[in-house]
Structure 1
Amino acid sequence: MAKAHGVLRTVLSARPGRFAGTVAAAVVTAGLLLTLPGCQGDDGSDRATIVAPGGPGEKARHLTPEEAAKAKPDDSPNAADHTYVSRMIEHHRQALTMSALAPDRAASDGVKRLAERITAAQKPEIGAMEKWLARHPATTIPPTTAAPAAPAAGHDHGAMPGMATEQQLAELTAARGTDFDRLFLKLMTAHHEGAVTMAGEALAGGNNVAVEEMATEVVATQSAEIHRMRAMG
């Protein structure tokens, strides 16, 4: 019973737009159905039901598991989702390239630790996004007017917001000491700002829950690091 109450609390705290999906996931994860006393089917037999909270001033609804499953919103990936994931992989890879320069070039321990945190966060994110792409090949993505189609192989990713140019990367590679620290913070701040912009576009135009979660994480993590880098600079 305590486990059932925990599932119910999860359901009640879900976002309205994702309510039905959260219900189904919570019930399946817990391996149980929430049966409410006095809820019966047309044949008089007891039936498991799920409470769907109504909006302000509205009554709650009682849904069967079948009804909850049918009400689950379609979160099929669209072109905005696929474009974001494809481009963000390349965006993150450049951040890893820049961060890998810090141990041998940076003068500040703070810059070195920042580079370590960026690597620790973005490397597994790349892995998660690559797995997402493997599950959702580009040929299965429906079109959308919210974003252009995903870039083909060999696309010039320098057009993405915040990406450093080849010349800037060469300058960063050649820099040492405090010059490296200054340039690293400048380039990485712009890089993070670009990532936040891309994540915002995905949140506005995408449709897939997993991509929404990834983009939300990027906004939260990289916004905090932007503030930290500005303070360091």
Structure 2
Amino acid sequence: MNSIKRALSRPGRRRVAMVGAVAAGALALAACGSNGDGDKNHGTPGTDHGSSKSATASSGSSGSSAKGAFNDADVAFAQMMIPHHQQAMEMAELSGSRASDKEIKELSAAIAKAQGPEIKTLQKWLKAWGKPDSSSTEHSMPGMDHGTGHSGMSGIMSDKDMADLKASKGTDYDKKFATLMTEHHDGAISMAKDERKNGRNASAKKLAGDIIKGQTAEVEKFGEILDRL
């Protein structure tokens, strides 16, 4: 699992701590940018809603780029999905020493393999777009919710959720992981559906579609695992 650890760029608690403010701001941006060209005079200053500006970034393993126009919904999607993926990878890392079920271990490895490159892709897109990367936030911000996890981002785990998962082992861990990761994936799927509906950048919308397809299949597998445990 060393490769997974190297993919984690920030401590989990710090990432969860900054999620609320990032999500709140990003959701506001998405609301501004969801109407396409017609709302380009009402967006955040510096955001390009038109076609005159293009942004290009590497997309990791997907082979596509963020070339072309983008709107606030695309930026919100990238800014929120980075910490969301990072927490999923932190959860997956725990399976190496705590899981007893073979399928749980296999799914954990698959999550890390898929989401690590996606994080890098999203970070490169934000850099190309001239937008802040949420994972670079160093300190907690107002409005954070450490107790419940319901900080405005769908499916994010609270500190208590993560502590309970870390404290479990064997079959108990397997059940908790499958349950929590299902909730986590459902949140990512919801965010990706919003991007498909409101985003403008073709590459970002394609990645959102890939997330919906891949994580929906994993949710089904987690359901099968829970049925037999």
Q: What TM-score comes out, normalization by structure 1 length?
A: 0.61
What is residue 171 of structure 1 aligned with on the other side?
164
Distance 2:86 2:163 in 1: 16
**1:83 touches 1:151 (CA, 8 Å); kept in 2?**
no
Q: Is the 2:83–2:135 Cα contact (8 Å) retained in structure 1?
A: no
Q: Matches of residues 99-118 of structure 1 in structure 2 within 5 Å?
A: 99-118=92-111
CA distance in 2, matches of 1:111, 1:182: 9
- Structure 2 distance, partners of 1:75, 1:122, is 23
Aligned with residue 89 of structure 2, among 86, 96, 105: 96
The residue type equivalent to 1:82 in the other structure is V
Name the count of aligned residue pairs.
150
| 2:213 partner SS | helix
Uncovered stretches (5+) of structure 1, i.e. residues with no partner: 1-73, 140-149
Q: Residue 214 of structure 1: SS of its match in structure 2?
A: helix
Structure 2 unaligned blocks of 5 or more? 1-66
**Aligned-partner residue type, residue 93 of structure 2:** A
Match of 1:160 in 2: 153
- Rounded to whole Å, the distance in 2 between the matches of 1:205 and 1:160 is 17
Q: Which structure exhibits the higher relative contact order, with contacts defined as CA atoms closer than 8 Å and separated by 6 or more residues?
A: 2
SS of the aligned residue for 1:138 comes to: coil
**2:115 aligned with 1:122, yes or no?**
yes
* Partner SS state of residue 101, structure 1: helix
Whole-Å Cα distance in 2 between the matches of residues 228 and 183 of structure 1?
14
Structure-2 residue corresponding to 1:81: 74
Partner of 1:14: none
Deviations 1:61-99 (A, max 9, x none): xxxxxxxxxxxxx95211111001010000000000000
Q: Distance in 2 between matches of 1:229 and 1:180?
A: 13
Q: Which secondary structure state, in structure 2, belongs to the residue aligned with residue 159 of structure 1?
A: coil
How many Å apart are 1:151 and its aligned residue?
Answer: 11
Instruction: State how 1:190-229 maps to structure 2 within 5 Å.
Output: 190-229=183-222
Aligned equivalents of 2:73, 2:120: Cα separation in 1? 19
Aligned-partner residue type, residue 187 of structure 1: L
TM-score, length-scaled by structure 2: 0.62
- 1:164 match: secondary structure: coil
The code of the aligned residue for 2:216 comes to S
Q: Percent of aligned positions with the same letter in both sequences?
A: 33
Deviation at 1:138, TM superposition (A): 2.5
